[in-house]
Amino acid sequence: MIPIEVTDEDEKYVLRAELPGMDPEKDIEITVEGATLTVKAEHSESKEDKRHSEFRYGSFERSVRLPLPIPDEGLGAEYRDGILTVTVPRAAEEAPATRTVPVRRAD
């Protein structure tokens, strides 16, 4: 399970997900369908011989349903210090079906 928090700010929702050790361009995928935002991540295990490991490996997915459909414009995602932040503007109109949101590395 991906730990998340969703805050309701003035004209937007902000979803933060804890995803340490990920490469945002390769390991994280965000999709939107109607009012549902889904974060998928995959963390691959290295091939090193380990004596003990408590790291999490594998595929993870978490969906969040917001009160209103998610619009096309103004949607953004950023990854910094192991935290994915997705900003979702509020909209009153019906949004199209499923789409993908690019994640960029924060500087």
Collect all residues with Cβ–Cβ distance below 8 Å to 87 and sequence separation of at least 6.
12, 13, 14, 74, 75, 76, 77
Q: Which domain holds residue 32?
A: 4-44+57-105
Number of domains the chain contains: 1
Q: Is residue 51 part of a domain?
A: no
* C-alpha span between 95 and 73 (Å, rounded): 10
Q: What is the pLDDT of residues 65-89, one digit of tens each?
A: 998 888 888 899 999 999 999 999 9
pTM for the model stands at 0.75
Q: What CATH number does residue 82 fall under?
A: 2.60.40.790
Q: Is residue 82 part of a domain?
A: yes
Q: Is residue 75 part of a domain?
A: yes
Q: What is the pLDDT of residues 32-71, one digit of tens each?
A: 998 999 999 987 766 666 677 656 667 889 999 998 888 8
